[in-house]
Amino acid sequence: MTLGGRARIAVAFAAAALLVLAPFGLKPYGIYLLSLWAVTTIAAIGLNLTLGYAGQISLAQASFVGIGAYTAALLTTQGWPLWSAFLLATALCFVIGWVLGYPALRVQHHYLAFVTLSFATLVFLILRNEEWLTKGVYGISGIPRPTVLGWSTKNPIDFYFFCLAMLALVTAATWWLIRSPWGRAFTALRENPIRADSLGVDVRRYTLIAFAIGSALGGISGVLYAPLVQFIEPTAFALNLSLNLLLMVIVGGSGYFFGPFLGAAVSVLLPEWLRFSEGLYLILYAVFVMVLMAFCPSGLLGLAERFRKPAAARRPESAR
Amino acid sequence: MSAVLEVRDLTKTFGGISAVAGVSFDVHPGEILGLIGPNGSGKSTLFNCILGQLAPSAGEVRLDGRAITGMRPCDLNRLGIGRTFQLLQVFPQLSVRENLILAGQEHQGSMWSRLRGRRDAGLTAAANRMIEFFRLGHLADERAGSLSYGQQKLLDAAMAFMAGPRLVLLDEPAGGVNPTMLADLHERLREINRSQGATFVVIEHNMEFVMSLCTRILVLAEGRVIAEGDPERVRNDPAVIEAYLGR
Amino acid sequence: MADLLQLLVAGLATGGIYALVAIGFVLLWQTSQTINFAQGEFVMLPAFFVLAAMKFGGLSFPLAMLVGLAVSAVVLGLLFKRLVVDPIIRHGVLPLVISTIALAIFFKEGVKEFYAADAQPFPAAWATTNLSLGGAVVSVQSLVIIAAAVAAVAALQYFLAGTRTGRRMQATAQNPALARVLGIPVERMILYTFLINAALVALASFLVSPIYLAKFTNGETLGLVAFVAAIVGGFNQVRGAIVGGLLLGVVDNFVAAYWSAQYRAAIPLFLLIAVILFRPQGLLGRAEERTV
């Protein structure tokens, strides 16, 4: 293993230790923000799989978060355990993601952007209009936090550790997926779908799978989001969140494994720390994204890599 | 001896213009068939119609007697047809070895078994052999995008052979490759042909390369076959000379 | 019958707006492969230029409209091309998509933060009364919108087909490399399309704002509708954008009247899926084959 690889593992361990220790020095609001970061990161990891590895733009990730959140809210307020929501939401989002991608992939690739954009609109309308199910604009309140194997996560700090554990689980699963032959196929169809096709890679099926798994991770994120905020209503899952998640993946570095972690931190934690008003922060953020796209479309991690070593010496790797 | 590949009356029109106008030919087991013709004579379009990248307007393609017209490229590849493209097509972010493993992995088991199975799909040894065979050994862990053009061209060809295909269609394998490497490529192709009995169809503009490599040559002009035969005969065919020199 | 006529006129008016926005969108795509995700915000913004000119510059409404048009041309045409598109286009389509998404956020939040977060009344340059046509009640506004859209499209078609510059622009759109060889100043032609897009969205803005009021969120649905109109019509055709826009507008009004007003915003999705499944090249488009 190279020195760079060892340094990377050291950084990962330090970051993990920090995440475990951080809540002990924070007020409840700080713990809430960290939990929100963990939940958001899961959704961003899903989108990174779709966009960063398989090269498919999706503007509907928030809709899958919404489907997950409403599944959790509806089930747990009826007394069902949270794990049933995990199962149902994951399956639901996987299937919907697959069905959604299918027509779009029959034609040119950028059509998926428009299909997902329209889908996001439809989901928002359903959440808002179908009051018999979703209670419409009034939202659903009193979403309970789960008891996991006898451990109550009612306290912010306990729920934070629950979110962190879920993030660790998702991270490990994704890492394993990216390093499997599937991950190699995802990278190939991002880099050159026509060549991949001629080498026996079933481009359509792999793309659909990447999209479906990415969507399912959005659902998982939503299932955690509902008990975190304990009150959900439709506007939380409108187009704004989808765009925000997309920018997180891009800003962090799409196609980089740790890009979503960084991107979510920039989007969730940084504005609180800078104490700007939300509007002003978004304005500056938008300018930053435009500048980043002009000078380094591979995002912050791409920028870091560029500084760390000259272009020719960059390490080849499918799982960056 | 029955043909590996039969092409019958294959036609492809783009908005009224026939790029390929009723082409028929057979490819026999073990031969190296050259496909030559002036620029724009329809060679690459013909390849793309045979290999499913383009849908032919009319005609039929058969592999070992089985109709394969209009099948998807990935399915054709899994039936044992490999190919390269006119323009260089490797995966620049993957290492040389990863490029080769990718080229073979879809032929190993089912999609689900690949997810559960080993990370390299059990192909590291085969990839290394291919790397040695094409003399890219010192570059195995380099990012493909960082190789020289000629080296990438070799890798491109190596990828087409990774899954052990029976039939390989090479679109200008010699284009832009320097003379030393060209001799190398020539020798490699001959050896695969000899040792594995693989059948080739090669599009090439480099006459010296194609005449010395191929056992039979097919000449295309304006979407039609205008001559066919061994290199010597084609070289002296007046119709071929006319097609190249113009009227 | 009277109801139908009424709905048809309203639908054509809505469709006229969609068509204007979709035409500009298609023009940008044709000449510079720009998929402008901020196109909706481009429609939202000119109205605020006019309001700002009246509020801070003390200008009269007609004068402010001229100023609004000029500022739109500079900001949404020239600066958009120079500052956003030119530096990014070499990286490919995706970074530009991301960048225009960021631009949309920039415009939206900018208006909200520095002008107003609530809907602002926008004056109309024409009567807001209704006319009675054979029993149907038709608003003058709808007729004005239809007339203005028709006039704009006619002028654009005349420019593209009937003038030397217009034909050079079409050549640029069809094959930039060839156009360059022929000595056409391709860069300038591309700039012209950006300016035309700016003028079209400004016109759409001035037509739509008196009805829906000027609000920073106005662009959200309009942008999506313009994309879908462009795709329904056949992504790379100006004629297609017109047909797609009108169709969407009419369907939108009929569905709202006869089926469900709550789900009218979902109509683009259904049209989009229908087109992709049954006629992926669009209603007027020709099938294009990917070259390998």
Per-residue pLDDT tens digits for C92-122: 888 898 999 999 999 999 999 999 889 999 9
Considering CB atoms only, which of B83, B93, B114 is closest to A316?
B93
pLDDT of amino acid C230: 86
Give the pLDDT band of residue B118 (cuts 50, 70, 90): confident
Helix/strand/coil for B70:
coil
Considering CB atoms only, which of C91, C96, C102 is closest to A247?
C102
Question: Is B105 in Cβ contact with A185 (below 8 Å)?
Answer: yes
Report whether pLDDT(A4) > 70: no
Considering CB atoms only, which of A111, A279, A285 is closest to C113?
A279
Average pLDDT over residues B129-157: 90
Put simply, whether B48 touches C (Cβ < 8 Å) is yes
Name the closest residue on chain C to residue A113, using Cα atoms. C97
B residues 91..150 contacting A (CB < 8 A): 91-95, 98, 101-103, 105-107, 111, 114-115, 117, 119-121, 141-144, 146
Question: How many C-beta atoms lie closer than 10 Å to residue B95's C-beta?
Answer: 22
Report whether pLDDT(C30) > 70: yes
Of chain B, the percentage scoring pLDDT greater than 90 comes to 43
Give the pLDDT band of residue C204 (cuts 50, 70, 90): very high
Beta bridge partners of B27: B5
Nearest chain C CA: its distance from B194 CA (Å): 31
Going by DSSP bridges, is the β-strand pair C136-139/B167-171 parallel, antiparallel, or unpaired? unpaired
Per-residue pLDDT tens digits for C152-188: 999 999 998 889 999 998 888 888 888 888 888 998 9
In DSSP notation, C148-190 reads HHHHHHHHHHHHHHHSHHHHHHHHHHH-HHHHHHTT--HHHHH
Question: Is A184 in Cβ contact with B93 (below 8 Å)?
Answer: no
Q: Which of A291-300, B31-40, C63-72, C207-216 has the highest mean pLDDT?
A: C63-72
Name the closest residue on chain C to residue B14, using Cα atoms. C289
Q: Measured in whole angstroms, how far is the alpha carbon of residue C107 from the centre of its chain?
A: 16
Question: How does B168-188 read in b/e, with b if 16+ C-beta sit within 10 Å?
Answer: bbbbbbbbebeeebbebbbeb
Going by DSSP bridges, is the β-strand pair B167-171/B199-203 parallel, antiparallel, or unpaired? parallel
pLDDT of amino acid C287: 56
Nearest chain B CA: its distance from C252 CA (Å): 35
Give the pLDDT band of residue A320 (cuts 50, 70, 90): very low
What's chain B's average pLDDT?
89
Q: Residues near B52 by Cβ (< 8 Å), separated by ≥ 6?
A: B70, B71, B72, B73, B75, B76
C-alpha to C-alpha distance for B129 and B186, rounded to whole angstroms: 18
